[in-house]
Amino acid sequence: MKTNFKSKKLKKKFETRKELERTYGTRQAKKITQRMNELYAAESLHDIKSNPSSRLHQLSGNYKDYLAVDLVHPYRLIFRPEDGEIKNYRTITIVEIIKVEDYH
């Protein structure tokens, strides 16, 4: 799956383990790296949905066109599909990473 980033600053944080750890801490950085590797390896979001531990889910409210996967509780990796139908995960092959947030 192809992944893009909302900003160059966010992309820079995600490119190196050192930057991830500095920003989010060691434990969270490890989980972010795991989720990003899962996204890179997937052919579509359907592959992510079939992994129950990621808990892929659609958001609502201000984030109604966005999706998220679990990180270290209560944080989520928020992204939006750039292609395909949001209701059909098999059609989504490109996502844009928006942020890591506790939106609860």
Q: What span, in angstroms and rounded, lies between the C-alpha atoms of 104 and 101?
A: 9
Task: Report, as an integer, the average pLDDT of 52-61.
Answer: 94
Q: Is the pLDDT of residue 104 over 90?
A: no
Region of residue 9 (left: phi > 0; alpha: psi -120 to 50; beta: else): alpha
Task: Write the pLDDT tens digit of every residue in 6-35.
Answer: 999 999 999 999 999 999 999 999 999 999
Q: What is the mean pLDDT of residues 46-71?
A: 94
Quick one: DSSP state of residue 90?
G
- For the cut 90, the answer to whether the pLDDT of residue 103 exceeds it is no
Residue 44 domain boundaries: 2-101
How far is 45 from 48, CA to CA, in rounded Å?
5
Q: What pLDDT score was predicted for residue 43? A: 96
Distance CA 28, CA 50 (A): 22
Query: Considering its fold, how many domains does the chain have in total?
Result: 1
Q: How many CB atoms lie within 10 A of CB 92?
A: 24
- How high is the pLDDT of residue 69? 97
Q: What's the pTM value of the predicted model, to 2 decimals?
A: 0.93
Of 61-65, 75-79, 92-96, the least confident:
61-65
For 52-75, b/e burial (b = at least 16 CB within 10 A) is eebebeeeeeebeebbbbbbeeeb
Give mean pLDDT, residues 59-83: 95
Whichever domain contains 65, its CATH number is 3.30.2310.20
